[in-house]
């Protein structure tokens, strides 16, 4: 049995190394661009129209003031400027190049600051308007509806990634700080297969999910199962997870680089408009798939024989073993499921925000906040907590929280929850001592 486990760990590590070695830096991600549009608002026969304004100069600069790109609008009033990647930029329109008698509206000033989070895809459009035609503005409740929808999508991804983290904690007591890298593994492997090798996500996706399960199983078999067998304490195992996290993050950074990359499939889509709500078919599909997977996992945990055995091991491993349940087998299955769900979350997150070596680490503390809110060790708590945290993160920007700090309120809520109700919403009080 020990030889088989060693062979499995060696195979998984070899797979990660070979996949990284086969990565070709020449396979560049899709171009990141800012499209500047300049239009004159006019009213003809009571109908508002927007007429393209050609020959208007504009430029894009980085935070240091260096010019990234510049040019003038074409006959369609459009100027496309290529960028080195998503980031913080400033778009400046040269008002002196506007046609005589035209001036920018107050709602579209000449200088516009762009944040990395503003890039929902690799193509960001900045509109400038002249003229006096009425221009509709988005009201607070419309913004609230859109942010809530965005939060639901983020919450579903957090919940999917959190279930495995919560189950691993419930069955072993281990707080796995390397779980974020399991998410990153899924996203980067999907990018390797889909963008570099040209394999459709409908084919490569299931392969990535299965490999994510093997990655989690190998991590347990190669590291944590031997530590449990030797009786190493949970605090020492936690420190090991931090070391694995740092190692894997730097390995991913070395092999794939630090720039955000886009998956090839479903990259450029037009949003579906439902009143004040807008969502691309890709995001709608991933949200529905996430919800279906989470419901299936929840029902399996609640009603299946494996789910009941998992809950028994979570409650009391020794008592579960005395009733004939193979606790170690259940733990291995939980690691496989956790790795598979993390990889799936990495694919869905990569479709939405792109992939990079830090994508899992950026979600890790939101996952911790979610499972703490829902209840440590509770799979249902991870579902509920992840969902709530996702909505909270997106909606808080409407109440004065800067976009770059939108994760902070979720972490503050984590501290408050630990002070007020340490067991979480669905957790149970336990006597200590």
For residue 29, give the DSSP letter. P
The CATH T-level fold of domain 32-137 is Immunoglobulin-like (2.60.40)
Category of 63 on φ-ψ map: left (φ > 0), alpha (ψ -120 to 50) or beta: alpha
Domain covering 2-25+142-420: architecture: Orthogonal Bundle (1.10)
Q: What is the pLDDT of residues 280-295, one digit of tens each?
A: 888 899 999 988 998 8
What was the pLDDT predicted at 378? 63
What was the pLDDT predicted at 24? 41
17 band by pLDDT with thresholds 50, 70 and 90: very low
Q: What is the pLDDT of residues 306-365, one digit of tens each?
A: 888 888 887 777 788 888 888 889 999 999 999 999 999 999 998 888 898 989 888 888
Q: Where are the domains of the chain?
A: 2-25+142-420, 32-137
Given a cut of 80, whether residue 63 has pLDDT beyond it is: yes
Whether residue 401 contacts residue 408, with contact meaning beta carbons closer than 8 Å, is answered with yes
Q: How far apart are CA 303 and CA 280, in angstroms?
A: 35
Same-fold call for 2-25+142-420 versus 32-137: no
Residues 90-128: b if buried by 16+ CB within 10 A, e if exposed: ebbbeeeebeeeeebeeebeeebebeeeebebbebebeb
Q: What is the pLDDT of residues 207-265, one digit of tens each?
A: 999 999 999 999 999 999 999 989 899 999 999 999 999 999 999 998 888 888 888 88
Given a cut of 50, whether residue 135 has pLDDT beyond it is: no
């Amino acid at each position: 049995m020990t030889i088989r486990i060693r062979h499995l760990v060696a195979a998984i590590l070899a797979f990660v190394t070979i996949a990284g070695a086969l990565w070709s830096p020449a396979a560049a991600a899709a171009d990141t661009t800012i499209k500047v549009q300049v239009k004159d608002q006019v009213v003809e026969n009571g109908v508002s129209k927007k007429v393209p304004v050609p020959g208007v100069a504009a430029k894009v600069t980085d935070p240091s003031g260096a010019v990234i790109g510049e040019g003038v609008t074409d006959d369609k009033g459009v100027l496309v400027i290529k960028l080195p990647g998503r980031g913080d930029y400033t778009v400046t329109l040269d008002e002196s190049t506007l046609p005589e008698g035209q001036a920018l509206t107050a709602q579209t000033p000449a200088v516009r600051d762009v944040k990395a989070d503003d890039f929902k895809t690799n193509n960001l459009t900045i509109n400038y308007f002249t003229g006096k035609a009425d221009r509709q503005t988005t009201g607070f409740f419309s913004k609230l509806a859109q942010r809530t929808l965005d939060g639901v999508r983020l919450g579903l991804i957090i919940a999917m990634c959190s279930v495995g983290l919560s189950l691993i904690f419930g069955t072993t007591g281990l707080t796995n700080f390397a779980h974020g890298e399991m998410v990153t593994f899924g996203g980067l492997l999907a990018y390797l297969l889909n963008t570099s090798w040209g394999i459709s996500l409908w084919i490569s996706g299931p392969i990535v999910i299965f490999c994510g399960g093997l990655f989690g199983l190998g991590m347990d078999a190669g590291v944590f199962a031997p530590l449990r067998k030797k009786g190493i304490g949970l605090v020492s195992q936690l420190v090991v997870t931090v070391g694995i996290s740092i190692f894997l993050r730097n390995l991913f950074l070395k092999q794939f680089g630090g720039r955000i990359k886009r998956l090839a499939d479903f990259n450029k889509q037009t949003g579906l408009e439902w009143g004040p709500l807008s969502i691309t078919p890709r995001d709608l599909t991933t949200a529905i798939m996430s919800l279906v997977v989470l419901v299936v996992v929840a029902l399996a945990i609640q009603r299946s024989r494996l789910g009941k055995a998992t809950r028994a091991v979570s409650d009391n491993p020794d008592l579960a073993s005395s009733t004939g349940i193979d606790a170690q087998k259940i733990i291995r299955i939980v690691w496989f499921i956790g790795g598979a769900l993390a990889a799936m979350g990495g694919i869905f997150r990569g479709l939405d925000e792109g992939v990079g070596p830090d994508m899992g680490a950026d979600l890790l503390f939101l996952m911790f906040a979610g499972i703490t809110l829902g209840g440590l060790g509770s799979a249902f708590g991870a579902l509920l907590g992840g969902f709530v945290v996702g909505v909270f993160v997106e909606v808080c920007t409407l109440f004065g929280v800067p976009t770059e700090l939108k994760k902070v309120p979720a972490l503050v809520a984590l501290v408050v929850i630990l002070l007020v109700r340490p067991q979480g919403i669905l957790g149970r009080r336990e006597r200590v001592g």
